[in-house]
């Protein structure tokens, strides 16, 4: 006779349950005047699960959250999987059209919304019904579009005593891609891939138990790299509604922050607003999402010598790819590091033979997603014999460090040859007057596409377009040098602060069309 089984499958919600069981009185969430312990957040997560069960949510159902950064995000992300259901955070900046497109894809049984998002749902009742949404819950005051009050549901519920059994390979989370190169797609992560992500990120970033971490990037997009691994480390999550450089420094000092997760754009703004003395509590900055300019990381390291900077490379579908550790930040400027534990990367072979020095990056690791939600065609386009086609171009240096060149879809075809925007941008950023740069291809009768550069300048700088063109011609092959350089006040950005090349191109083409049409 066999003995009873102890333990269970890998599951996302266990990260919160473990923290609540082992250190219940540790601060878990701080948001404005709200301060909740892990015991309280764990209790709220179980009350939420019981409330959702009463609303008919079962294993495999989807529950969507459409709201900006707030304290409840933590309990919602970890409470939904207690039922074996799938959490679906939505982009807080989406229009109702964008949101309805995603909602129609995943067909959530329950939609949880903030005040701003509830307002955007006005007039969408029929569409919500058609998308299978049975209940809309308001995190704030009830509204006509969101009649169920969230806090009342939790107050009336008894905590769920036993989580619904799941398999480690069951879906737990759907994260939508940014849609920067097309329609947003729902990337499906299993309990297994999420636990792998949490463990590998904690190890490779050098996270410590009990970190005090500050969230200013949007939680809907940064939960994979930030909220989930830091909950494994039983961190205190200090959450800001949005990024503001001065307020970030104030929060670091007030709350004794030890770790932040950022992108180069936010780090540049933090550097510009940095106090004369950096708070001693801050020891670790992780960053990703866009190339780190060499002058910026040098300036950051000089201003904050006591802080370790760690860069990682990954994406919504596949987070744990490479890591560049603190000693390599200066030594290996321009690279994104070496493969993380368990990650394998290679360049795609061409029909003519082995991959060229620069090629599309293929990757596989335990953190890889399992596909796009109910979109086998889109999944097949990125999966290649068990490897994921990242859509990124890159090369490995003599030490095995990965150097990114840009996105495959953003390669400019000019006069029959290919130009990688990232190479031209890196050249422009070496000019002392250039603060930021975006390079795109613009339709051209003579060249097919012409290389156009859009730049912002440092305060007080006075470089002219012709000066920058001459600078590029001195460092790049003629066909790579911009045919035009446009000095602009600012560049359009995605929600997390990345430069949106597609928007740069579209804005220019729209303005050019308006000039032609009387």
- Write down all domains in the chain, each with its CATH number in brackets: 35-166 (3.40.50.980), 198-408 (3.40.50.12780), 411-516 (3.30.300.30)
Give the closest residue to 401 by CA, choosing from 483, 317, 311, 477: 311
Report d(CA 371, CA 187) in Å as an integer. Answer: 6
458 phi/psi in degrees, rounded to 5:
-65, 155
CA distance 62 to 232: 24
| Burial group, residue 479, by CB count within 10 angstroms (0-12, 13-18, 19+) | middle
By the 8 A CB rule, do 216 and 248 touch? yes
Nearest C-alpha neighbor of 361 from the set 371, 350, 346, 343:
346
**Using CA atoms, how far apart are residues 34 and 23, in angstroms rounded to an integer?**
19
The residue count of the chain comes to 518
pLDDT value at position 353? Answer: 46
Q: Can you give the pLDDT of all 518 residues of the chain as single tens digits?
A: 567 777 788 999 999 999 999 999 999 999 999 999 999 999 999 999 999 999 999 999 999 999 999 999 999 999 999 999 999 999 998 889 899 999 999 999 999 999 999 999 988 877 999 999 999 999 999 888 889 999 999 999 999 999 999 999 999 999 998 765 457 899 999 999 999 999 999 999 999 999 999 999 999 999 999 999 999 999 999 999 999 999 999 999 999 999 999 988 899 999 999 999 999 999 999 999 877 888 899 999 999 999 999 999 999 999 999 999 999 999 999 899 999 999 999 998 654 445 557 889 999 999 999 999 999 999 999 998 999 999 898 999 999 999 988 788 888 888 777 788 888 998 999 999 999 999 999 988 778 889 999 999 988 887 788 999 999 999 998 889 999 999 999 999 877 777 888 889 889 988 877 665 54
> Could you tell me if 122 and 144 are in contact, meaning their C-beta atoms sit under 8 angstroms apart?
yes
Res 350: pLDDT: 54
Q: What is the model's pLDDT at position 179?
A: 62
Q: What's the number of CA atoms in the CB half-sphere (13 Å) around residue 96?
A: 13
Residue 356 pLDDT? 57
Q: For 21, left (φ over 0), alpha (ψ -120 to 50), or beta? A: alpha
Q: What is the dihedral of CA 488, 492, 496, 497, to 10 degrees?
A: 0
Contact 56, 49 (CB under 8 A): no
Q: What does the pLDDT read at residue 347? A: 94
Q: What SS3 class is residue 140?
A: coil
What predicted TM-score, i.e. pTM, was given to this entire model?
0.87
Listed residue (211, 225, 255, 235) closest to 31, CA to CA: 255
Residue-level pLDDT at 510 = 87
């Amino acid at each position: 006779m066999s003995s009873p089984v102890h333990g269970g499958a890998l599951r996302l919600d266990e990260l919160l349950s473990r923290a609540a069981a082992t250190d219940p009185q540790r601060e878990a969430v701080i948001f404005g005047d709200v301060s909740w312990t892990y015991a309280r957040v764990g209790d709220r997560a179980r009350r939420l699960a019981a409330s959702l069960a009463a609303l008919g949510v079962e294993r495999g159902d989807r529950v969507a959250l459409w709201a900006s950064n707030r304290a409840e995000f933590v309990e919602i992300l970890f409470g939904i999987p207690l039922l074996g259901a799938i959490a679906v955070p939505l982009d807080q900046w989406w229009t109702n059209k964008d949101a309805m497109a995603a909602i129609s894809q995943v067909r959530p049984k329950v939609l949880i919304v903030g005040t701003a998002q509830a307002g955007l749902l006005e007039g969408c009742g029929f569409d919500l019904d058609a998308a299978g949404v049975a209940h809309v819950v308001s995190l704030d005051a009830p509204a006509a579009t969101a009649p169920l009050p969230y806090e009342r549901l939790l107050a009336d519920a008894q905590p769920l005593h036993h989580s619904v059994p799941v398999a480690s390979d069951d879906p737990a989370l759907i994260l939508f891609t940014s849609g920067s190169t097309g329609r947003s797609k729902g990337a499906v992560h299993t309990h297994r891939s999420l636990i792998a992500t949490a463990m590998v990120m904690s190890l490779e970033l050098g996270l410590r138990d009990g970190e005090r971490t500050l969230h200013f990037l949007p939680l809907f997009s940064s939960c994979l790299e930030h909220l989930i691994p830091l909950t494994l480390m039983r961190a205190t999550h200090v959450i800001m509604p949005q990024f503001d450089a001065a307020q970030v420094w104030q929060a670091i000092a007030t709350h004794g922050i030890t770790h932040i997760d950022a992108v180069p754009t936010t780090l540049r703004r933090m550097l510009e607003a940095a106090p004369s003395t950096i708070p001693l509590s801050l020891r670790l900055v992780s960053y990703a999402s866009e190339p780190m300019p060499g002058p910026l990381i040098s300036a950051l390291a000089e201003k904050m010598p006591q802080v370790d900077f760690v860069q990682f490379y990954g994406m919504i579908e596949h987070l744990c790819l490479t890591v560049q550790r603190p000693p390599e930040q200066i030594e290996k400027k321009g690279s994104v590091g070496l493969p993380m534990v368990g990650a394998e990367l290679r360049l795609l072979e061409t029909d003519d033979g082995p991959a060229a020095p620069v090629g599309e990056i293929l990757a596989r690791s335990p953190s890889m997603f399992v596909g796009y939600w109910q979109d086998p065609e889109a999944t097949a386009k990125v999966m290649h014999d068990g490897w994921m086609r990242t859509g990124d171009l890159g090369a490995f240096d003599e030490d095995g460090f990965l150097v990114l060149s840009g996105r495959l879809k953003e390669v400019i075809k000019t006069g029959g040859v290919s130009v990688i925007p990232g190479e031209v941008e890196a050249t422009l950023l070496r000019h002392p007057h250039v603060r930021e740069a975006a390079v795109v291809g613009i339709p051209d009768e003579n060249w097919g596409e012409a290389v156009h550069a859009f730049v912002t300048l440092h305060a007080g700088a006075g470089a002219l377009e012709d000066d920058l063109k001459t600078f590029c011609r001195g460092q790049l092959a003629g066909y790579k040098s911009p045919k035009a350089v446009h000095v602009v006040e600012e560049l359009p950005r995605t929600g997390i602060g990345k430069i949106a090349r597609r928007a740069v191109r579209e804005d220019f083409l729209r303005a050019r069309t308006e000039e032609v049409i009387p």
